[in-house]
């Protein structure tokens, strides 16, 4: 009996364990795997991110220089960010806000001239 009472009394004087969410937001850790962004001007459309992605949410077209990501298929594992040879993919520390409809990020880069020999299609 009364085993819980000291705990309850202590809870009156300690700080709250919860926060009032929309008004108080938790500080993100700098390692957090949040929103995925692509710096399209650095991207060379090699397609390694699309090949490595376990959920296959990224589509890259080298000819038309487009990069697409189906946001609600992405699992935010961070594999593409680690394998990107151009280091143009990043993950922010914060997460995306909820939305009402499914979105796809569509990015159009400039079509590079043929003289750059790198960026072979990955297996």
Partner 1 sequence: MKRTIIPFGPQHPVLPEPIHLTLTVEDEIITEAVPALGFVHRGLEQLADLRDFRQMVQVVERVCGICSMMHAMCYAQGIEGLMEVEVPPRAKYLRVIWSELHRMHSHLLWLGLFADSFGFESLFMQFWRIREKILNIQEATTGNRIIVSVNVIGGVRKDLSPDQIRWMLSELIEVEQMIMNLGPTLFDDYTVKKRTVDKGILSGEKAMELGTAGPTLRGSGVSQDMRTLGYAALNELDFTPVTEKNGDCWSRCKVRFLETLQSIDLVRQAIARIPNGEINTKVKGRPDGEIIARVEQPRGEVFYYIKANGKKNLDRLRIRTPTFANIPALLTMLPGMWLSDVPVVVLSIDPCISCTER
Q: Which two tokens stand for residue 54?
A: 């376990």
Given 3-state DSSP classes, what are the helix, strand and coil percentages for the chain, each rounded to the nearest 5? 15, 15, 70
Judged by CB under 8 A, the chain residues 46 through 105 that form the site for partner 1 are 52-55, 75-79, 82
* Residue 48 Cβ vs partner 1, minimum distance, rounded to whole Å: 13
* Residue 81 Cβ vs partner 1, minimum distance, rounded to whole Å: 10
Judged by CB under 8 A, the chain residues 3 through 32 that form the site for partner 1 are 3-4, 6-8, 17, 29, 31-32
78 phi/psi in degrees, rounded to 5: 85, 10
Residues in contact with partner 1, counted by CB under 8 A, come to a total of 21
């Amino acid at each position: 009996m009364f085993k819980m009472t000291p705990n309850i009394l202590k809870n009156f004087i300690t700080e709250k364990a919860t926060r009032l969410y929309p008004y108080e937001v938790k500080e993100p850790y700098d390692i957090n795997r949040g929103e995925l962004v692509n710096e399209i001007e650095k991207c060379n459309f090699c397609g390694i991110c699309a090949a490595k992605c376990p959920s296959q949410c990224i589509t890259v077209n080298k000819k038309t220089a487009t990069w697409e990501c189906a946001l609600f298929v992405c699992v935010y594992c961070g594999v593409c960010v680690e394998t990107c040879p151009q280091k143009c993919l990043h993950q922010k520390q914060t997460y995306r806000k909820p939305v009402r409809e499914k979105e796809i990020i569509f990015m159009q880069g400039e079509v590079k001239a043929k003289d750059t020999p790198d960026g072979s299609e990955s297996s």
